[in-house]
Amino acid sequence: MNLKKKVVLAIVGIVAISMMVGAISVGAEKVTVNLWGWDIMAKSAGAQNEFFQIENPNIKINDVTMAFNDVRTKVTTALLAGVGAPEIFFSSGPMTGSYIRLGGIMDLTDELASLREYLAKPWLDNNTGPEGKIWGFPWDAGISTIFYRKEVFDKAGIKDPGAWTWDEFIEIGKKLTVDKDGDGEIDQYMLAIASAGGNFTSWYQMFTQSKGLHMTNASGDVLVDDPAIVDVFQWIVDLVLKHKIAEVVVEYGSDAPAYWVAFKEGRYATEVRASWAAGFGLKRLGYNPEHAWRVASWPCWEKGKPTGGIWGGSGMMIPEQTKNRE
C-alpha cells in the first residue's frame, strides 16, 4: 500500500472515530469530560469541540494542557493510586505499552473492531496489546519519511528521488558523503544514526516495522535474538562501517541542540524521521530558500513494493476509574 493511500485511510479512520464518538448519548445530564494532553494534542482535540457538541450538547470537553512528561507522570501516578485520572488522556506510541502493562485502562477492542480495515497496521499496533486487544483510539500517526536537502541533490545532478529503494538510497549516499575542504575528514554525510537518547528506540522501530517486524513480542519482551531483527540492525550498522554514508550521533533528537546545529551547518543531506517533523523540525533543520528541504516516501526494500513504519504517533486512552465510561 503506498503512502498516499495509507494517509487517506488514516483520515477515513479519524472521521469514523469522530462519527462514532459523536453519536454517543449519555442522557440529559450535563457531563464534563477532562482530557489531558500536551500542546498540539490538547489544542487539536479542543478545536473539534464545536463539532462534537453539536451532537452532544450536554457534554463539555475540558482540555487540560501540560508538558509531555507531566502527562506521563500524572497519568502513571493516578493509575497506580486508583484515583485522580481524567476521563481521557493522550498517550504517545512508545508509552502505550507501559500503560497497558500498568493496568487500569479500558479495553476498547469491541468498540474499535469495525475500524481495523481502515487503519495502517503499524498505526493500530501502537494501540494494541497482548492477544490483539486494542486499548487506545489512534489519533495521529508518525508515518516514516525521508527529508532531503534539494539543493544538495541538485548540485550533485541527482533528480527528485520519487520512490527510492534502499539500495538506491545507499548509492546516492555514496555520492553525497564527501570531504568538502580536502582535509581528509568527511564534512557531509547522507544521514545521521541515533546511538542513544529519547529517540533511540523510535528511530530503529521505523526500519523494523517497514520490514514487517516488531522489536518486541506481544508481551513486551525485546526480541534481541530474533535473526530477522538482527539482520535489520546489521544493515543499519553497515551504513556506517561498510557503505560509510552515515555518522553515529550520540546527542540525537529534539532535545539535542548540537544535532540541529550540525544540520544548519550542512553536515547531513537527509533526515530520516516521521512526517510530523515538518511541523517543527524544518525550522530546527535550518530551513531557508537555499537549503530548500523536501520530503520523500519511505524507501522500498524491494523495487515497486512500498513499505513503511511509524515513529511515535499518539492515541487516546480511557482509564477504568472514569465515572463517564460511555
pLDDT digits (tens, 9 = 90+) for 289-300: 556 788 888 999
In a domain, 302, yes or no: no
In a domain, 307, yes or no: no
First to last CA, the chain: 35
**Highest mean predicted confidence (pLDDT) among 24-38, 42-56, 183-197:** 183-197
**Do residue 164 and residue 31 come from a single domain?**
no
Q: What is the C-alpha separation between 155 and 146, in angstroms, rounded?
A: 19
The H or E element spanning position 88 is strand 88-92
**Do residue 30 and residue 57 come from a single domain?**
yes
In tens, the pLDDT along 183-204 reads 999 999 999 987 765 456 778 8
**Do residue 92 and residue 222 come from a single domain?**
no
In tens, the pLDDT along 88-122 reads 999 887 788 888 888 899 999 998 888 878 876 76
**Do residue 135 and residue 239 come from a single domain?**
no
Name the pairing type of β-strands 293-297 and 88-92: unpaired
Domain total of the chain: 2
How far is residue 177 from each of residues 44, 154, 191, 222, 283, measured CA to CA in Å?
Answer: 40, 15, 9, 33, 23
**Do residue 36 and residue 120 come from a single domain?**
yes
CATH number of the domain encompassing residue 159 = 3.40.190.10
**Do residue 113 and residue 182 come from a single domain?**
no
**Do residue 250 and residue 117 come from a single domain?**
no
In a domain, 305, yes or no: no
Name the pairing type of β-strands 191-194 and 144-149: unpaired
C-alpha cell at 149: 536537502
pLDDT more than 90, % of the chain = 25
Give the pLDDT score at 317: 94
In a domain, 186, yes or no: yes
Domain that holds residue 43: 3-141+313-317
In a domain, 7, yes or no: yes
In a domain, 326, yes or no: no
**Do residue 152 and residue 292 come from a single domain?**
yes
